[in-house]
Structure 1
């Protein structure tokens, strides 16, 4: 099958959507599919030309001119989409949402269309620009969902709670995201010791790790508040973003310097080493903007127990089976988060049991080949439907 993916960005750009798009494209190539990815890129670089990456994936990046309300500004994207359809002649057009550039697919197009619904567009009450902008965006969003031959949601919980998906639930298919463990580096014991020494984790202490973009919905400020009463552990929060300076100031105000560390963004090798070296992985997100938590799959693959916010209407609670692979807490409740973390810090046997359960759950449910197989079934149904209509 010939598959044209339209994504917001593609690695080395960081993010759960980006990682999944690459892993899915590579898995589809292994299945024998021809795969073309159209995505944005900042600046000139390799914009406008095709390259072959990741074992045969054909990639074309479209130059952006900054962002407007978190959306890439790429006036040439419509032309590049039309060009890719004309040259590549895909059997399926696979759009990864949210992404304003995907709306170019509303032009007359006879290619069967699958919309992959990674997340609703959710604006915080304090975001006075995004909220009115969504009033316009939602009309294009609704038109795209009506036009789609099928919609893929990443969990049943998210699909059922999504207002935009409610009118099209008859064509929603649930396919959980997956991870290609082949790209996760093996980490030896010597490296684990070095990582723990680097972050000042002493004898008898635990290392609690969190990873993500420093945005308000990620809840890292709640994790910092929770750390005030934590005993016998060091907290490391990896990433960058607009809220990082504010979180750093709060760390200093609470006298947590040396106990809560913010090393910034890390290269993949160092990030994988941190997953292997930590004792507990924490995802303290606050909103359904955290739709699934691909980073949880990375931690589970390394056998780490999880502490996560139990976000209503999110897939996070589906990934982390509360009481089995980790613990769930009320979003935004620093005391509850502190209690869950302390429980795991104090109980090595529980950490081991939950970490192993997470590794098994990952292997059973979240490998990329399983996700690619589910997506292939959706493709087959829309291609059959398109053929029947001709």
Structure 2
């Protein structure tokens, strides 16, 4: 079975949560006999055809971008070519250009779409996009929501409940690098003692401005791994607040990230808007047996982090509540360790890559065998 994944960005250009999910899917389903390929856009010159961890990555040059949506003239012919040889096309939503490709290429192959997130911020453009989105989601064979929380809270998904099912994200710890003892020692020497960790792209919805206010006047160290459009503003805020306990480490290699996940006291994830649909770095924290702190925003974050079981869940955009949650875990190491163990057990029970891969292969087979589209 050949599956074509189509999304706007992918490794090695970018390392966001959706890219990680596609990677885990490609590697996990390959173990079950699936030939996975990924088509994506790139801004970089050089080799456009790659092989990563056993799956092919086809890249086409991005022509231009409008409202964070990449477009590519070359993608039209390349997508049609790759789609013709695929048994099923796996779209990753949202990306309006993808909807247009589905329309312009007249796709009649079996199709599924993983619905990673609603469009939250761009209200006007979202209204303009609605007719195309409705046509696209109505035309695909099946839609996958990534958590029961998101399915129940998304007004868009509610419209397509009869063709939507939940397959949650999963991670395979074995494909993460194992940090060397020397690397572990380097980070232990640099940050001796306990610290909270945030990992992610520094975007507007991540709530990091709330986190900075929450740790002002405390001595709890916080390490922030990642870069992004909010980085400069966040560093200015940290300087204004005189935060010598907050450390911006920038984007780090995967081995360093794993080292810090292994060493941290807990994972803090203050995303305060629905643009945060799941939180892969939360799930990575659970995988490494870390207690978590997150906000209740009606999405998958509260499916990963169960309040008072795997960590603490606070109201969004609530500085005192976030500070209290961090202090609570900081002052109660036994509770923090217990929550971390519960988090890891929940990961092993629900969120493994093997489970995700098996569920998607079942869905692929179901959609292909039940597809009745006319050529």
Q: TM-score range by the shorter chain?
A: over 0.9
Residues 204 and 230 in structure 2, CA contact (< 8 A), matched pair in contact too: yes
For this pair of structures, how many residues does the alignment match? 372
User: In the aligned structure 1, how far is the partner of 2:172 from the partner of 2:207?
Assistant: 27
1:38-76 deviations in whole A, cap 9, x for unaligned? 1111132223xx333212x12211111342211112122
Asked whether 1:262 is paired with 2:248, we answer: yes
Which digits, 9 at most, give the CA deviation of each residue in 1:254-276, with x for residues without a partner? 1112x111111111111111111
- The correspondence for 2:235, drawn from 213, 223, 248, is 248
TM-score with structure 2 setting the length? 0.95
CA distance in 2, matches of 1:229, 1:193: 29
User: Which whole-Å CA distance do the structure 2 matches of 1:217 and 1:224 have between them?
Assistant: 14
Q: Does 1:301 align with 2:287?
A: yes
Gaps of 5+ in 2: none
Q: Aligned with 2:73: secondary structure?
A: coil
Report Cα offsets for 1:68-124 as digits up to 9, x if no partner.
Answer: 2111121221211101123xx22211100111231111242220110110011111x
Task: Determine the structure 1 residue equivalent to 2:95.
Answer: 99
**Paired position in structure 1 for 2:120:** 122
The equivalent residue for 1:63 is 61
- Tell me if structure 2 keeps the 8 A contact 1:43–1:65: no
Residue 27 of structure 1: CA displacement? 1.0
Deviates more, 1:186-195 or 1:65-74: 186-195
d(CA) in 2 for partners of 1:311, 1:221: 17
1:355 aligns with 2:340: yes
Contact 1:154 1:177 in 2 (8 A): yes
Q: CA RMSD in A?
A: 1.7
1:90 pairs with 2:98: no
1:111 and 1:234 map into 2 onto residues whose CA distance is 52
- Does the alignment pair 1:53 with 2:52? yes
- Answer whether contact 1:230 1:342 (CA < 8 A) is retained: no
Q: Residues 245 and 388 of structure 1: is their aligned pair in 2 closer, same or farther, counting only changes over 3 Å?
A: closer
CA deviation string 1:179-198 (max 9, x = no partner): 12112233466644431331
User: For the structure 1 residues 327 and 188, does the alpha-carbon distance in structure 2 shift closer, same or farther, using more than 3 Å as the test?
Assistant: farther
Is 1:228 aligned to 2:237, yes or no?
Answer: no
Residue number in structure 2 paired with 1:30? 31
- 1:42–1:66 contact (8 Å) kept in structure 2: no
* Aligned partner (choices 195, 217, 220) of residue 205 of structure 2: 217
Change (3 A) 1:43 1:186: closer
**Within 5 A, what are the aligned runs for 1:1-390?**
1-12=1-12, 13-47=14-48, 50-55=49-54, 57-86=55-84, 89-103=85-99, 104-107=101-104, 108-123=106-121, 130-187=122-179, 191-199=183-191, 201-202=192-193, 206-231=194-219, 233-257=220-244, 259-312=245-298, 314-386=299-371
